[in-house]
Amino acid sequence: MKMFRSLLVACVAFGLTALPAFAGGWGDNYKEALATAAKENKKVLLDFTGSDWCGWCIRLKKETFDQSQFKDYADKNLVLVEVDFPQGKTLPPEVKKQNDALQEQFHIEGFPTLILLDPQGKVINQNVGYLPGGPKGFISWADSSK
């Protein structure tokens, strides 16, 4: 039984590390997101957030990003990238460096900021501040840029 548990744990651990970075959720690698979007013919959503301190960011996540209607839409249409600027947790140095560069590249001055990109990294649409309306409001905003 111990050997079976050990084998099961090893298989699960291997399976989790073998998953693509963007399978079913948010990633944090901008270049990988663009490559995935090109391969899957999707748009890239950058969410510039202060995930552990920005009240409007936390509200946007709860009211929109955590909802099944958003998740269904995103699975079919988007590659999701969280560009986080936390105050209470530490990001890996390469992610922090990338996020700082993206903040400068896209001239981000407030949180949350949402940027919708084509697979080549060209800005399609941008929203600074809280986007009201939950998943329906988000989908309307995203689809208005077609």
Spell out the residues 6+ positions from residue 113 whose beta carbon is closer than 8 angstroms to its own.
Answer: 46, 47, 48, 106, 126, 127, 128, 129
Which tens digits make up the pLDDT trace of 2-53? 444 444 434 434 443 333 444 459 999 999 999 999 999 999 999 999 999 9
**Joined tokens for residue 144:** 């208005």
**Joined tokens for residue 50:** 């202060």
CA distance 97 to 3: 42
Q: How far is CA 102 from the centre of its chain?
A: 13
Q: Which domains does the chain have, with CATH numbers?
A: 21-143 (3.40.30.10)
Comparison of pLDDT for 22 and 80, the residue scoring more: 80
Which tens digits make up the pLDDT trace of 82-131? 999 999 999 999 999 999 999 999 999 999 999 999 999 999 999 999 99
pLDDT at 10: 42
pLDDT at 12: 39
Residue with tokens 């979007």: 37
